[in-house]
Amino acid sequence: MSVKILALVGSLRSGSHNRQLAEAARENAPADVEIEIFEGLGDVPFYNEDVDGEGSAPEAAARLRAATAQADALLLLSPEYNGTMSAVLNNAIDWLSRPFGAGVISDKPTAVIGTAFGQYGGVWAQDEARKSAGVAGARIIEDVKLSIPGSMTRFAELHPADDAEVVEQVTEVLGKLAANIDG
């Protein structure tokens, strides 16, 4: 059975280390796991119930919902901005949670990982992302965690896909997330 995991990267920066971490996950996924990195989170407007009528969600939000519905699980990659997750990641969770209780995120196996400049690798942001996604209805896989500190120096000249320790950790994360998919 092939497993499809949708990666949502909470950083829009072109040189984002979290984007690179998602690429490392895609490149090193187990043979039966496919990672799709969602493109276009920056195009998803801030959630506004006034524009979210049945069948009339903005195109970018509809694409996000469709991609999530087709995925077996979610992998959220969160940078840490001012001690919490990015607005773009929280906004994606908001769109996926609607209609509340029946959004495409409901009961979707979800893991949160990431890297940040600080000495703790963004754990506060990742905890906030787990909390937000869990309240939205996702099934958070609590024992699947990866926080890589010192991203600005660690990945200054080395892509995460070329870091043997990161590759091993990401492969373990994907294996655990895939094992939590009902199928």
Reported confidence tier of residue 53, pLDDT bands at 50, 70, 90? confident
Is pLDDT above 70 for 168?
Answer: yes
The pLDDT of residue 64 is 98
pLDDT digits (tens, 9 = 90+) for 83-137: 999 999 999 999 999 998 899 999 999 999 999 998 888 999 999 999 999 999 9
d(CA 25, CA 173): 9
21-36: pLDDT as tens digits: 999 999 999 999 999 9
The third-level CATH classification (topology) of the domain covering 3-179 is Rossmann fold (3.40.50)
Span 136-148, pLDDT tens digits:
999 999 999 999 9
Length of the chain: 183
CA distance 108 to 139: 5
pLDDT band at residue 59, thresholds of 50, 70 and 90? very high
Q: Report the chain's mean pLDDT, rounded to a whole number.
A: 95
Cβ neighbours, 10 Å, residue 14? 6
Tokens of 99: 């209609």
Q: What span, in angstroms and rounded, lies between the C-alpha atoms of 16 and 5? A: 20
Other C-beta atoms closer than 10 Å to the C-beta of 119 total 8
39 — phi, psi (to 5°)?
-100, 135
**Helix 59-70 × helix 87-97 angle, to 10°:** 70
Percent of the chain with pLDDT over 70: 99
**Predicted TM-score (pTM) of this structure:** 0.96
Confidence of residue 183 (pLDDT cuts 50, 70, 90): low
